[in-house]
């Protein structure tokens, strides 16, 4: 999202709106990518992103395969990152959707092979399609993004979602606030043009949108600090806490949720939550991204 223009983001969002009509139709089919091949390569686990890219490809009538490259197997067989990409390219891939724990891996892949490379998450760096579906969900509920006080809560330092969301929200004119413990929210992030808080109630005051992030235990080398109990009592999102925000606040979460740690059931399953709609919108966004990157043009070509 760092390199995307406001116009490019808006094009994806308009295209996703058309894709949602397809997803809401009886057969969910539009042969817009007939004859195209898409390869999903996920070096890190994924439920939502991988599943929605696969469904998106199928709804648009592309051929799709999923590889889960195993590090141990690759080492035993001696195949490098580059050779693995060259192999799927030789199979005829038009696009490779990839998730990798290494920051910059998608950019590197783009220099190695000709198919379109779509970043489905690279370490703690970026997760652009998550940011696009978050923007789409906000617009669907609120009608716009500009001027909305949007609060991102939690493990900001380890979050690729936070970075991509900040870029996208800022480009569409939101007032972005970050809040979390000092161990998970470095002061340098203020350089992104956002307001930092370490007190949750202060950050939530008058919020239009609250994005609760997953605590990424797998990226915290020295163990989780503060303790889970401390974190829950200071930053865990429950209905009482949420009262500091506006009455019609929208709550989103990228998933998977650590329910009972960063978010309580009365919020994530409550009437202010759009967590399930985010997942559905993820399919529409990924249909739009596949279509626009492989076929090009604009949303006018998206017909059934």
The answer to whether residues 1 and 128 touch, using CB atoms and an 8 Å cutoff, is yes
Site string for ligand CP, 78-117 (x = CB under 6 A): ----------------------------------------
Under rule CB under 6 A, how many of the chain's residues touch ligand CP? 10
130 among annotated binding-site residues:
yes
Q: Taking CB under 6 A as the rule, does residue 46 contact ligand CP? A: yes
Question: d(Cα 37, Cα 32) in Å, to the nearest integer?
Answer: 12
Question: d(Cα 229, Cα 136) in Å, to the nearest integer?
Answer: 33
Question: d(Cα 192, Cα 1) in Å, to the nearest integer?
Answer: 13
Q: Taking CB under 6 A as the rule, does residue 216 contact ligand CP? A: no
User: Residue from 49, 84, 164, 211 that binds ligand CP (CB under 6 A)?
Assistant: 49
Determine how β-strand 250-252 pairs with β-strand 149-153.
Answer: unpaired
Stretch that binds ligand CP, among 87-95, 101-109, 134-142, 252-260 (CB under 6 A): 252-260
User: Residue from 69, 226, 255, 270 that binds ligand CP (CB under 6 A)?
Assistant: 255
Q: Which of residues 126-185 bind ligand CP (CB under 6 A)?
A: 127, 130
Q: Crossing angle for the helix pair 275-294 and 48-59, nearest 10 degrees?
A: 50
Stretch that binds ligand CP, among 47-55, 87-95, 217-225, 239-247 (CB under 6 A): 47-55
In whole angstroms, the minimum distance from the beta carbon of 122 to ligand CP comes to 12
User: Residue from 254, 261, 268, 283 that binds ligand CP (CB under 6 A)?
Assistant: 254
Q: Taking CB under 6 A as the rule, does residue 218 contact ligand CP? A: no
- The residues near 106 (Cβ < 8 Å, ≥ 6 apart) are 98, 100, 117, 118, 119, 122
CA atoms within 13 A on the CB side of 276: 6
User: Residue from 2, 21, 29, 47 that binds ligand CP (CB under 6 A)?
Assistant: 47
In whole angstroms, the minimum distance from the beta carbon of 50 to ligand CP comes to 6
Given the complex with ligand CP, which of 93 and 132 has the nearer CB atom? 132
Query: CA separation (Å) from 94 to 33, 104, 116?
Result: 10, 21, 6
The answer to whether residues 256 and 214 touch, using CB atoms and an 8 Å cutoff, is yes
Q: Decide: helix, strand or coil at residue 18.
A: helix
CA atoms within 13 A on the CB side of 284: 27
Residues comprising the binding site for L-aspartate?
Answer: 160, 214
Q: Which residues bind ligand CP (CB under 6 A)?
A: 46-49, 121, 127, 130, 254-256
Residues comprising the binding site for carbamoyl phosphate?
Answer: 48-49, 99, 127, 130, 255-256
């Amino acid at each position: 999202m760092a390199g995307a223009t406001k116009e490019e983001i808006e094009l994806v969002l308009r295209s996703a709106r058309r894709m949602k009509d397809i997803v809401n139709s009886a057969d969910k089919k539009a042969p817009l990518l007939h004859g195209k091949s898409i390869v999903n390569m996920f070096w890190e686990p994924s439920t939502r992103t991988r599943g929605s890219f696969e469904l998106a490809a199928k709804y648009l009538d592309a051929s799709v395969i999923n590889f889960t490259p195993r590090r141990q197997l690759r080492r035993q067989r001696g195949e490098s990152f580059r050779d693995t990409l060259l192999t799927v390219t030789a199979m005829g891939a038009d696009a490779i959707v990839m998730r990798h724990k290494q920051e910059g891996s998608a950019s590197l892949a783009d220099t190695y092979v000709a198919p379109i490379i779509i970043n489905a998450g690279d370490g703690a760096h970026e997760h652009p399609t998550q940011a696009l579906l978050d923007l789409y969900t906000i617009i669907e509920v609120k009608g716009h993004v500009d001027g909305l006080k949007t609060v991102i809560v939690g493990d900001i330092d380890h979050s690729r979602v936070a970075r991509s969301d900040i870029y996208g929200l800022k480009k569409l004119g939101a007032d972005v606030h970050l809040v979390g413990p000092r161990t998970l929210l470095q002061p340098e992030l203020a350089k992104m043009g956002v307001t930092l808080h370490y007190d949750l109630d202060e950050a939530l005051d008058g919020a239009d949108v609250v994005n609760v992030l997953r605590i990424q235990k797998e990226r915290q080398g020295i163990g989780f600090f503060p303790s889970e109990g401390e974190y829950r009592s200071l930053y865990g999102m429950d209905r009482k806490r949420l009262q500091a925000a506006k009455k019609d606040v929208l709550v989103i979460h990228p998933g998977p949720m650590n329910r009972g740690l960063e978010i309580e059931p009365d919020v994530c399953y409550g009437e202010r939550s759009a967590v399930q709609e985010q997942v559905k919108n993820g399919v529409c966004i990924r249909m739009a991204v596949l279509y626009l990157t492989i076929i090009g043009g604009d949303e006018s070509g998206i017909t059934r």
